[in-house]
Amino acid sequence: MSLHPTTATVIDLFAMHGSSEYGGENVTQEEHALQCAELAAADGAPATLVAAALLHDIGHLLHDLPADAPERGIDDLHEALGGRWLESRFVPAVTEPVRLHVAAKRYLCATEPAYEAALSEPSRVSLGLQGGPFTPDEVAEFEMNPFWRDALRLRRWDDTGKVDGLETRLVTEFADVLDACVLPEAE
Ligand code: FE
């Protein structure tokens, strides 16, 4: 099987940095990404959204901040970092939900009272750093993005994909999904 170089780079990033802790949760970055991708696939999501689920926290694999940055009051802005990295490599249906996945949390906190109450403690800590629940104006603006519903779906998998010891496929087994979503001009 010949992989697109971008897919090979993603596999390398997980191999090099995927074993780092997923900010205060009981899973590694790689386990979390794979659980999210499996949830997306099980939910019948298109390949672009399965890829987005796998890649949504790639920003965490691209910076050198400690995993406990939020507890130290630092927002690593991983959704923006990841979004920028993905933008030149993957189609917008992958990149946009990733870029919006933190905004999606702020949206859901504003629109579903039960959502914020159900967040994990690390998610609640980072919410404060990320600006808290959206204002009504921000809610309306979020709904203008063509990918806002995809971002909400991604967000729910993100919130669920934190189960200690769950069996998933390997990152390499999602190579065909990634290949299908790479921009033709990506290197
Ligand atoms: Fe996540």
Q: What is the mean pLDDT of residues 62-73?
A: 77
Q: Residues within 5 Å of ion ligand 1 by Cβ?
A: 57, 158
How many whole angstroms separate alpha carbon 160 and alpha carbon 157?
5
pLDDT at 187 exceeding the cut of 70? no
Ligand 1 centroid to Cα of residue 185, in Å, is 28
The percent of residues above 70 in pLDDT, for the chain, comes to 98
Task: Quick: pLDDT tens for 103-114.
Answer: 999 999 999 989
Ligand 1 centroid to Cα of residue 102, in Å, is 9
In CATH, what number does 5-181 get? 1.10.3210.10
Specify the 3-state DSSP secondary structure of 186: coil
How many whole angstroms separate alpha carbon 89 and alpha carbon 6?
7
Beta-bridge mates of residue 32: none
Ligand 1 centroid to Cα of residue 56, in Å, is 6
Q: Which two tokens stand for residue 164?
A: 């200690």
- Ordered by start, the domain boundaries in the chain are 5-181
Ligand 1 centroid to Cα of residue 158, in Å, is 5
pLDDT at 48 exceeding the cut of 60? yes
